[in-house]
Structure 1
Amino acid sequence: MNALSYTLVVNGANYGQQSSRSAYLFACALLAKGHQLNSVFFYRDGVTNGSQLAVPANDEFDITKAWQALASEHDIALETCVAAALRRGIVSEQEAQQHDLPSSNLATGFEQAGLGRLAEALLSQDRVVQF
Structure 2
Amino acid sequence: MKFAIALFAPPHAPSSRRALRFAEAALAGGHQIVRLFFYQDGVHNASTNPVTPQDELDLPAAWRELVERHSLDAVVCIAAALRRGVLDEGEAQRYQRSASVAAPWELSGLGQLHEAAQLADRLVCFGGP
Q: Does 1:6 pair with 2:3?
A: yes
Q: Does 1:120 pair with 2:99?
A: no
* TM-score, reference length from structure 1: 0.91
Q: Which runs of 5+ in 1 are unaligned?
A: none
Tell which has more relative contact order, 1 or 2 (C-alpha 8 A, sep 6+).
2
Percent of residue pairs identical: 42
1:1-131 counterparts in 2 under 5 A? 4-15=1-12, 17-99=13-95, 101-131=96-126
Return the alpha-carbon distance in structure 2 between the equivalents of residues 37 and 117 of structure 1.
Answer: 14
Deviation string, structure 1 residues 64-120 (Cα, Å, up to 9, x no partner): 111111111111122110000111110111111223x13211144211110011111
Return the alpha-carbon distance in structure 2 between the equivalents of residues 108 and 60 of structure 1.
Answer: 24
Contact 1:52-1:108 within 8 A present in 2 as well? no
Task: Say which SS state the counterpart of residue 52 (structure 2) adopts.
Answer: coil
Indicate the RMSD between aligned Cα atoms, in angstroms. 1.1
User: 1:41, CA displacement in angstroms?
Assistant: 0.3
Return the alpha-carbon distance in structure 1 between the equivalents of residues 37 and 97 of structure 2.
Answer: 26
Are residues 62 and 41 of structure 1, via their aligned partners in 2, closer, same or farther at CA, if it must alter by over 3 Å? Answer: same
Query: Which amino acid letter does the alignment assign opposite residue 6 of structure 1?
Result: F
Runs (4+) off by over 4 Å? none
Q: How many residues align?
A: 126
Q: Which runs of 5+ in 2 are unaligned?
A: none
* TM-score, reference length from structure 2: 0.92
